[in-house]
Structure 1
Amino acid sequence: MQPLASVPSRSEQVYHVLRDSICECRLEPGTHLVQEDIAEKLGVSRQPVQQAMLLLKSDGLVVEQGKRGLYVAPIDRAGMRHHYQIRQVLDELAARLVAGRVTEEPGFGAHLRREGTAILEEGARARERGDAAAMVRHDVAFHTMIYQLSGNPLIAAKAESHWLFLRRVVIGIVTHVGRGHTAWVQHEGILDALVAGD
């Protein structure tokens, strides 16, 4: 066997570009995904686009509509509720584990405060710029930090697949409902509670 290349393959690069475009609603639900057009826009052949589409179908972000081709999956209200239910359980578990580490490990609270504050400051700057996609990336980064600092490496991996769907909803909330400020105030409260070991 040959060692694997350390750089992402073309299909991985195409996958990440399309995934982020879907999750950030630059490719809206119901958008027809024509492989030739995508290949031309990204400057690649059709093969990496086809491979990326298979991964996106497996994720559930792209659906096939008979002979009409591939489309960005709709945002399904019941499905989103299910994703949020699972995320709630994962977030509660991660928060409980982080709070436990704060009370048990000297200096851990200060480390948590530094990491959390840095993310929240970046998110606040994105909000000031009106950059909804960046706000959501920092939102995900804040929660991911909690997962990673929980000490349980399985939480972040399990949560990631749900965030693929939830990012689309959060973008809509930030863009159309205008809850960006409220979200950051809530995140500050979460950080304060965790640093206090609560």
Structure 2
Amino acid sequence: MKTQQNEIYRVLRNRIINLDYKPGEVLSDRDLVACFGTSRTPVREALLKLQKDGLVETVPRVGTFVSPIDIKSVRHAYEMKKNLEGLAAELAATRASEDQMDGLLDLAGAFGDLDNFRDYRECIEKDSRFHELTHQSSGNPLLMQTLNNLSLVTVRFLQHIQYVETEYQWYKDSIYAIAEAIKRRDPAKARREAENHTAAFLTKLASYFFGKT
């Protein structure tokens, strides 16, 4: 039952983040039970987890809805990530396994095969996977959980605005520099590159959406 609940949660979370379910859309227990071919219990447990993540809202005697995207929450998430991503990269440079380091380099290199306009959704997804692997490589479960929760907010926002990185060469070089510093076991450089990457990204978004940082 727990495995089924976790799988339903994972699928629904990804659908919400990727905007297959739009903000404000109703998530009917009955429809989800039919969709997953299961009982109501694992569906309701999955929805409770999504509610804790802030991805859905439940109104008693009305129903469950996909949460709206709150621009203030997005800004606050990026403000936290600006420092925590650097810490994760610093720890990863000392704790990552060889497989994790190679995985980061592979993900960083994969952006060269994508077109930033045509493949913007895949760019966002690969960026999310790169950062998630960096978080895992930190070897700090609390840090990983915190950053993954923040990413639920930020990745959904990027999909919502259909974000395209116009300075794509800078982006590719910056991501690769993080992966390379981790591979070289250089924690100071890994932290600096990750902080610079996130700060530059926040500044860019701020000029369009958040006002001054």
Q: Give the TM-score of the pair, scaled to structure 1.
A: 0.75
* 1:179 matched residue in structure 2: 165
Distance 1:125 1:44, change over 3 A: farther
Per-residue deviation at 1:61?
Answer: 0.7
User: Is the partner of 2:42 in helix, strand or coil?
Assistant: helix
Instruction: Compare CA radii of gyration and give the structure with the larger one.
Output: 1
Residue 86 of structure 2 corresponds to residue 92 of structure 1: yes
1:179: Cα distance to partner? 1.7
Distance in 2, matches of 1:59 and 1:30, equals 16
Q: 1:49 to 1:75 in 2, by over 3 A?
A: same
Match of 1:119 in 2: 107
Unaligned runs of 5+ residues in structure 2 are 190-213
- The residue aligned with 1:30 is 24
The RMSD of aligned alpha carbons is 3.2
Name the residue aligned to 2:36.
42
Residues 26 and 125 of structure 1: is their aligned pair in 2 closer, same or farther, counting only changes over 3 Å?
Answer: farther
**For 1:129 and 1:46, how far apart are their aligned partners in 2?**
41
Go from structure 1 to structure 2 and tell me whether the alpha carbon gap of 1:132 and 1:43 turns closer, same or farther (over 3 Å shift): farther
Q: Distance in 1 between matches of 2:152 and 2:34?
A: 25
Pick closer, same or farther for the CA change 1:50–1:124 going to 2, 3 Å: farther
Q: 1:73 to 1:52 in 2, by over 3 A?
A: same
Question: Residues 13-60 of structure 1, C-alpha deviation per residue, up to 9 Å, x if partnerless?
Answer: 211111111111111111111111122122223232222111111221
Aligned residues: 184
Percent identity, aligned pairs only? 27
Structure 1 partner of 2:132: 144
> For residues 36 and 119 of structure 2, what CA distance do their matches in structure 1 show?
23
Is the contact between residue 84 and residue 166 of structure 1 (CA under 8 Å) also seen in structure 2?
yes
Q: Extract unaligned runs of 5+ from structure 1.
A: none
Q: Which residue of 152, 156, 159 corresponds with 1:164?
A: 152
TM-score after normalising by structure 2: 0.70
Secondary structure at the residue paired with 1:177? coil
**1:165-197 Cα shifts (integer Å, max 9, x gaps):** 222023235xx2322772434312433455563
Give the structure 2 partner of residue 188 of structure 1: 176
- Give the secondary structure class of the aligned counterpart of 2:57: strand
Q: In structure 2, do the counterparts of structure 1 residues 41 and 166 end up closer, same or farther at CA, with 3 Å as the change threshold?
A: same
1:116 and 1:38 map into 2 onto residues whose CA distance is 35
After alignment, is 127-136 or 13-22 more displaced? 127-136
